[in-house]
Amino acid sequence: MQNKYVNFISDEHFLNCIALLYKAYVKAKGNITKKAFFVNKVDTIKLTFDAGFNKMSEENLIKAEVLRQIDKSINNSIGTFHEQILGGIEGFEVGNLSGFDIKAVDNTLFADIKNKHNTMNSSSAESLFQKLAHYADTYKTSKCYWVQILAKGSFEEKWTGDINGKEYGHSRVFKISGDRFYTLLSGQEDAFLQLYKALPIAIQDYLRSVEQDKKLTEDSILGEIKTATEASRRSILDQITFENFGYYLGFDKL
List, for residues 77-97, the tens digit of each pLDDT value: 999 999 999 999 999 999 876
Judge contact between 65 and 47, C-beta under 8 A: yes
Show Cβ contacts of residue 147 under 8 Å, excluding neighbours closer than 6 positions: 101, 102, 111, 112, 113, 114, 175, 176, 177, 178, 181
Cα separation, 13 vs 2, in Å, equals 14
- What local confidence, expressed as pLDDT, does residue 195 receive? 96
pLDDT in tens, 152-209: 999 999 999 888 888 999 999 999 999 999 999 999 999 999 999 999 999 999 998 8
Judge contact between 224 and 34, C-beta under 8 A: yes
> pLDDT-derived band of residue 214, with 50, 70 and 90 as boundaries?
very low
- What local confidence, expressed as pLDDT, does residue 7 receive? 95
Cα separation, 5 vs 165, in Å, equals 46
pLDDT in tens, 217-253: 556 777 888 888 888 889 888 888 888 888 888 888 8
- What local confidence, expressed as pLDDT, does residue 243 receive? 85
3-state SS assignment for residue 217: helix
